[in-house]
Structure 1
Amino acid sequence: MDGGGMEERHLKKGYVHVYTGNGKGKTTAALGLAFRAVGHGFKVHIIQFIKAIKKKEYYGELVAAEAHHNLTIAQFGVGFLGTHSADVDKAVANQALRYAKEVIASRKYDLIILDEINIAIHYRLIDMDEVIEMIKNKPEELELVLTGRYAPPEIMDLADYVTEMKLIKHPYLNNVKSRAGIEY
C-alpha cells in the first residue's frame, strides 16, 4: 500500500502514548496524530474529558471532525473546573471514563485519544487504578493516547511513548487571550 489511499486499515500492534507537561501542544499533538491516522484509513475516536461545548464552533476540532467520516469526537464536561460543584465534575468525568471503556471494548476504533484524562486523574475526579486497568486490558491492536498535564508516574510507566510539553514562552503570560484556531 502506498499509504495515501483511504482504504480501511487496521494496526497489528498498538501502543500507548502520553502527552503531558505545562506547555501548549498536548491536545494539538493528539489531534495531529488523529488527522494522520484518518488519512491512512484508520478509525479514530477522541474522548474529551473536562471540555464542554460552549457553542458548536468553539473547538475547531469539532467542526473539522464532521468532514471526516472516520473521526468521532465526544465531549464530557461542564466547563472550567471549580466553576460549579466538584460532585458535578466528578460525575461527568466518571461518565466519560465509562464511555471510554465501552468504546475501547467495542474494538471499532484503531486509535482512541483520551484528551485531558490526566487532569481528571490529578484532581481525583476519576480513579487512577481504573485507568491503569483500562490501559493494561486494552486490545493489542489499539493505539491509545492519554493527554493532559500532571500525568502520574504510574501512567507514564505503562506508556510506550511519553512526551512532555515544556512551557518556555507563551503570549498568555503577557495577558493575550486564547485565540480561535490556535489555542482552541
Structure 2
Amino acid sequence: MKDFGMLHVYTGTGKGKTSAALGLAMRAVGHGAKVVMICFMKGDPTYGEAQAFRFLPGFTILQMGRDSFVNFRNPDPIDVQMAKEAWEEGKRILSEQKTDVLILDEINLAMAKQLIDTHEVVAFLHAHRKNTEVVCTGREAPQELIDVADLVTDMQEVRHYFTEKNITIRDGIDH
C-alpha cells in the first residue's frame, strides 16, 4: 500500500487501545489492505474481536497467548515462551512482508514485564517495518519504543465503571 511504514503506539491506563488498533484495521481493510493482528496475551477464542474479524476479508488474527491472565509479578514460563513465540511470528511476518498492517496487541506490556526484550523489539521494528504499518498496543509502553514511534497515543482513564460501579466485564463491550 502507498505510504505505509509508520510505527504507532497506543498505550496508557485508559480503555480503548486495542479498539483503536481494530478501528485502524477496519479502515485499512476497507481500502484493500491485508491486516494481521498478533495477540500476545488474549488467547481466549470468545473475545469479540476474535469472533467478529473471522468474517472480515483481508484480516487475520493470531491469538498466541493463554486464555487466562498472566501473573506479571511471577510469570509462568509458558507465558514467557508464548510471548517469545508471538514475537518470532511477528518478526517472520515483517521480514517476509506478508501484510500491509501488523498489529502487535499487548506487546507493550510484554516488553514492560520482560516477557520479551525491548531493545530487540525496537531495533527490529526500526530496521524491518519498511512498507508495513506497525501498531503496538498495551499499557506501559517502554520509553525506548515511544522514542522511535511515528505516532503515540496515551489513553488515560478518567472514569471507569469497573472501579466506579463495580461492574464486571461485559461480553460485546469489554470482551
Same fold? TM cut 0.5: yes
Count of residues in correspondence between the two structures: 172
Structure label with greater radius of gyration: 1
TM superposition score normalised by structure 1: 0.89
TM superposition score normalised by structure 2: 0.93
Q: Is residue 43 of structure 2 the alignment partner of residue 43 of structure 1?
A: no
Corresponding residue for 2:10?
19
Structure 2, unmatched stretches of 5+, are none
Identity of aligned residues (%): 43
Corresponding residue for 2:109?
119
Structure 1, unmatched stretches of 5+, are 1-9
Shift of 1:139: 3.4
Q: Is residue 69 of structure 2 the alignment partner of residue 80 of structure 1?
A: yes
Shift of 1:85: 5.4
Report the 3-state secondary structure (helix = DSSP H, G, I; strand = E; otherwise coil) of the residue aligned with 1:22: coil
Amino acid at match of 1:121: M
Q: Which aligned pairs between 1:98-113 and structure 2 lie closer than 5 A?
A: 98-113=88-103
Q: Is residue 57 of structure 2 the alignment partner of residue 66 of structure 1?
A: no
Q: Is the 8 A contact 2:119 2:144 kept in 1?
A: no
Report the 3-state secondary structure (helix = DSSP H, G, I; strand = E; otherwise coil) of the residue aligned with 1:114: strand
Q: Deviations over 1:77-131 (max 9, x none)?
A: 1120129952111011001010110111121211000000011011100011110
RMSD: 1.4
Q: Is the 8 A contact 2:36 2:99 kept in 1?
A: yes
Shift of 1:138: 2.1
- Displaced runs of 4+ in structure 1, greater than 4 A? none
